Amino acid sequence: MAARFQRITPFLWFTSAETLEGAVTLYTSVFEDSRILTRTHYTKESAQPGGQPVGALMTMAFQLAGQDFAAINGGPHFTFNESISFVVNCETQAELDRYWSRLSEGGDEKAQQCGWLKDRFGVSWQVVPVMLPQLLASTAPEKARRVMEVLLKMKKLDIAELQRAAG
C-alpha cells in the first residue's frame, strides 16, 4: 500500500533563518497535533544561488494540526502580504481567544479586523468561529446584514455577539 501523501502543501518564504525557525517554533506550539518533521541546511552547492552561508538553515517541513507545511529561509527577496492567509476555524470562544492571543502576540495591531490578524512574522491569519459562514450566508437577508454589520466593527470576533446579531 502506498504511503499517504498530501496533494497540496502550503509553502512559506521567510527572510532569514531566525525568522523561519521562530515562526515554525511558534506555530507548532500553538496548534495541537503539530511537529517539526525535517530541517535542511544550505550546502556548498546551494548556498551561493540562495545567497546564504553554507550550513545556514534552508528549509523546514512541519505539521500544524496534522496538515503538512514547508518553509524556506529564502532571504529578503519576497515578503508576506494579506492576499494570502490561513483560516483557523474555532468551535468555542475560549478556543478563538487562545488562538487569537498566541498568533497576534507581537504582531501588527493595525492589520486586525473582522477576525484577521498579522503575526509578528508577517503571516496573515483569520481566526473565526466555524458557524460564521452559515450566519453570513443566511437565506434571510436582514439576518445576514445584521451579522455583517456587527462583524465589520470587530477585531477579535465575539461569537455570542455575532449570534445575537443573527437573532
From residue 129, alpha-carbon distances to 26, 60, 90, 96, 160 in Å are 22, 30, 5, 7, 10
Written as nine digits, the cell of 151 is 462583524
Evaluate if residue 1 carries a pLDDT over 70: no
Evaluate if residue 112 carries a pLDDT over 90: yes
Pinpoint the alpha helices (H) of the chain. Answer: 17-30, 44-50, 93-104, 132-136, 141-151, 159-166
Could you read off the pLDDT of 116-166 as tens digits, one per residue?
Answer: 999 999 999 999 999 999 999 978 899 999 999 999 999 999 999 999 999
Q: What span, in angstroms and rounded, lies between the C-alpha atoms of 31 and 88?
A: 10
Other C-beta atoms within 10 Å of 107: how many?
18
Q: What span, in angstroms and rounded, lies between the C-alpha atoms of 99 and 116?
A: 12
Written as nine digits, the cell of 130 is 466555524
| CATH class held by domain 85-166 | alpha beta
List CB contacts of 19: < 8 A, sequence separation 6 or more.
73, 121
Domain over 11-73 is classified CATH 3.40.50.720: no
Could you read off the pLDDT of 9-56 as tens digits, one per residue?
Answer: 999 999 999 999 999 999 999 999 999 999 999 999 999 887 899 999
- Domain layout of the chain by residue ranges: 11-73, 85-166
